[in-house]
Structure 1
């Protein structure tokens, strides 16, 4: 059965806005673009600060209610979406979100939440995004997009089924995150805290042992979405999470390239300063490569840069560049790095390789859960579930 479709705007209520500066020194909860976990598709309470009204950012405007669906208008390919729960009821969201408030008579909140995660919705938003370095869509584009609209009871049935698949996917993601935390803790145990250097390693300046090389940005007009002779894969930050939107460019424009074992860094966010590896190709300006200068291995760099001692300071000092959160290279280059001898580095990384296998398996399980969720979603919104 093929469902009729309707513009989302016809089935959502108006969302109230305000200026928190009106409450002076009183506090309010602020949901920023970084407050939503783009993997888990939920607002993370620890990432929702309480701010005084007088310190409110200019984008703090929308009062959200339980059941509202947030859709990030920025970088739609990352699909920053979430549904507001009771804990976040009454918080204030950034204007970087389109806040959708289902009327709950013709449109169910959970049904809408699952719809805005579908490849069909995401691809439509990506195609309509404007801005090469900071792609975004407007509230109007999101609200005028169409949604399959069965009866309200049927929507609730579909949402209940997808809720179960979503729960499985979330549990797998949480397990993977725990495995990743275990990997980081094991490295810290063998290496020691870089701030206190309890192992007494020789201390080097980070910029003296690692060269951070930024990527290049070919014209968007040269992009193609399928492999061709004489073309090279252009890797973007999103590609480390999903292979859904591959991009290829002419080989002569692939100025900066990297291999599978190279350590790559997300220069911009949110989230800023992700440490990535596992792909190969040419890389764009949103990425940079961490190149060993000598006395340090690629594997060791990968684990080193993921330590909270460096992560927290880089994220806290990130700069605003064209509306994006960016890595402060001067800060990064000037970090002190306690550096074990190369043989000790190799021994540490060999031990960690066994844990990395577990993390890799968890990644595979998570991708299976995502495939299941996407398969069910496709059937559900096509009237085949």
Structure 2
């Protein structure tokens, strides 16, 4: 079954968000504040008092966020207002735009972003309204299963964080008096880059290329984007070895989250991520959980660049004092983490199965095969 396509311009108006600095927000307010990566605070006023979809314009470009109660949308994002509620179901549009991969429409300038004309030109299949509602309901159920699996993985991660704190204490206050060394003296720092988007051959390959959108789990193995091995011969891009700790150092996600992970496969990284390769003083998995166990402290070190993007000052980050317990004590924690990893792996496979089910249903739904 095939359905006619409709352009976003024909079914919705894309409004620009309005600037709202953090110091001007009212965190006791009733309305959520949204940026390009999701909900980032509260406020007493709104720019949209209706259910809407928020589209990342800068920062997390192309991210599609469900905002059923509206709220204040800052100027790193668009928000959509339907032209005709009898022609399009908002929840269906949410899934359709996620499937449209708006991030692929990024304009590569000094500050990558999504142009509103490109958003407007995006086409989605438009079945009759009852069919839209049916598809949305099916995908909602599949998505709920996927989120439950993700929550189970998060609980497992929380367990290891608790084990780390029990063995070593708070990384910020160091109550057990461990010797410390600056992060800079314990790791080799490797930067990333984005291969030229104008060379299609660079993006036809199987080598994982990590961007912040892949940093959603502690173990980094698979990625959304892949590149060709020839990139390493022609561009200034390095292969990051297994056991490297990755941290996002630039992007609007740093307004509320500092993604940290460890490579379980050889990867490349983009320019918004740094890789820390241990020089031997600390074990990689120990360093990983040392960083994960002080999220609030890391978040407090995030600054704002002149153009509004969130970022780390690398000199400040590399000045971070790191526990350096005896290597055998580190190995004891790593042994616990690795034995527990079997449980994590089972949960991860369960999550992958739920994700594959969701993706399969989405593919069939938008092809008219459900």
Question: TM-score w.r.t. structure 2 length?
Answer: 0.83
The alpha carbon displacement at 1:20 in A equals: 7.3
- Larger displacement relative to structure 2 (366-375 or 189-198): 189-198
What is the aligned partner in structure 2 of residue 5 from structure 1?
5
Of 121, 125, 131 in structure 2, the residue corresponding to residue 148 of structure 1 is 125
The alpha carbon displacement at 1:12 in A equals: 2.6
Measured in 2, the distance between the counterparts of 1:224 and 1:16 equals 33
Of 48, 55, 64 in structure 2, the residue corresponding to residue 64 of structure 1 is 48
Within a 5 Å distance, the mapping from 1:63-212 to structure 2 comes to 63-74=47-58, 79-86=62-69, 89=70, 91-102=71-82, 103-118=84-99, 121-122=100-101, 125-131=102-108, 134-212=111-189
What is the aligned partner in structure 2 of residue 59 from structure 1?
none
Q: How many residues are paired up?
A: 352
The alpha carbon displacement at 1:13 in A equals: 5.5
- Specify whether residues 154 and 303 from structure 1 end up closer, same or farther in structure 2 by C-alpha distance, changes over 3 A only: same
The alpha carbon displacement at 1:79 in A equals: 4.9
- Specify whether residues 356 and 107 from structure 1 end up closer, same or farther in structure 2 by C-alpha distance, changes over 3 A only: same
Q: Does structure 1 residue 293 correspond to structure 2 residue 283?
A: no
What is the aligned partner in structure 2 of residue 314 from structure 1?
298
- Specify whether residues 198 and 19 from structure 1 end up closer, same or farther in structure 2 by C-alpha distance, changes over 3 A only: closer
Q: Cα RMSD over matched residues? A: 3.0
Question: TM-score w.r.t. structure 1 length?
Answer: 0.80
What is the aligned partner in structure 2 of residue 39 from structure 1?
none
Residues 259-312 of structure 1, C-alpha deviations (whole Å, 9 max, x = no match): 12222222222334422222313433222221223421112111111112xx32
What is the aligned partner in structure 2 of residue 379 from structure 1?
364
SS in 1 for 2:98: coil
- Specify whether residues 373 and 108 from structure 1 end up closer, same or farther in structure 2 by C-alpha distance, changes over 3 A only: same
Measured in 2, the distance between the counterparts of 1:143 and 1:216 equals 29
Measured in 2, the distance between the counterparts of 1:17 and 1:294 equals 47
The alpha carbon displacement at 1:364 in A equals: 2.1
- Specify whether residues 172 and 132 from structure 1 end up closer, same or farther in structure 2 by C-alpha distance, changes over 3 A only: farther
Q: Is the 8 A contact 1:295 1:341 kept in 2?
A: no
Name stretches of at least 5 consecutive residues in structure 2 with no aligned partner. Answer: 217-221
Name stretches of at least 5 consecutive residues in structure 1 with no aligned partner. Answer: 37-42, 54-61
Measured in 2, the distance between the counterparts of 1:19 and 1:206 equals 35
